[in-house]
């Protein structure tokens, strides 16, 4: 199966100092690390409602995006950039926190539902399809549905943060494969840990 390369990597999170270290911002953390590893810097791009960076990576022009719209309207930023640069949903990777995976777990997948994640929900609505790539960074689940919004808006415990960072590093190690469209190889490597 011939995969398209990734042209847009979106990290999900909430803007603002008070959210910086919260679980819901795991997508921002990862994209920041990735940008740092590639010597890319983010600039504020009003027309894309976010902070954007672009660079030549592994022979492909790749955009990085951190929506500054707040999580539940993330799709506005993703839709604006994807439309402007004519980027297909299958060429988009969305990096986000995942309640259904434990800290220390990172999984790559194409398509699927939003699992109650408001950022994903809005991106699906804006793109009109579920068929974009997701890098799911496990943050664990508080156990009670009613506790979820409180849980994602709080900092992980130190040992959880260490596990999340470990998973982020493993995902960074396969980022080049994902960008080149070698997603099966990336999944094999990432999921075998």
CA angle 47, 51, 55 (to 5 degrees): 100
β-bridge partners, 109: 134
Q: Decide: helix, strand or coil at residue 65.
A: strand
For residue 193, what are its two tokens? 């840990």
Cβ-Cβ contacts under 8 Å for 1 (sequence gap 6 or more): 184
Binding site members for tRNA? 19, 70, 72, 118
Question: Can 24 be counted among the known catalytic residues?
Answer: yes
Q: 36 Cβ partners below 8 Å, 6+ apart?
A: none
The answer to whether 66 touches 42, Cβ cutoff 8 Å, is yes
- CA–CA dist 164, 132 (Å, integer): 23
Strand arrangement, sheet containing 8-11: 43-45, 50-57, 60-67, 8-11, 92-98, 133-138, 106-110
Name the active-site residue from 24, 49, 96, 117.
Answer: 24
Q: Which two tokens stand for residue 166?
A: 């470990």
**Residues known to be catalytic:** 24
């Amino acid at each position: 199966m011939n995969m398209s390369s990734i042209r847009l990597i979106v990290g999900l999170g909430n803007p603002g100092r008070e959210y910086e270290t919260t679980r819901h911002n795991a997508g921002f953390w990862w994209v920041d690390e990735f940008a740092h590893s590639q010597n890319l810097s983010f600039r504020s791009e009003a027309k894309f409602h976010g902070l954007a960076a672009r660079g030549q990576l592994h022979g492909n022009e790749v955009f990085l995006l951190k929506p500054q719209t707040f999580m539940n309207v993330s799709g506005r930023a993703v839709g604006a950039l994807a439309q402007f640069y004519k980027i297909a949903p299958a060429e988009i990777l969305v990096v986000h926190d995942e309640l259904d995976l434990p800290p220390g777990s990172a999984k790559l997948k194409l398509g699927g539902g939003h699992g109650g994640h408001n950022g994903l929900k809005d991106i699906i609505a804006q793109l009109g399809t579920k068929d974009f790539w997701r890098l799911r960074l496990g943050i664990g689940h508080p156990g009670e549905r009613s506790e979820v919004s409180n849980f994602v808006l709080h900092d992980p415990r130190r040992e959880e943060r260490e596990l999340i960072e470990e998973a982020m590093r493993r995902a960074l190690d396969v980022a080049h494969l994902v960008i080149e469209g070698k997603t099966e190889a990336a999944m094999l490597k990432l999921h075998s840990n």
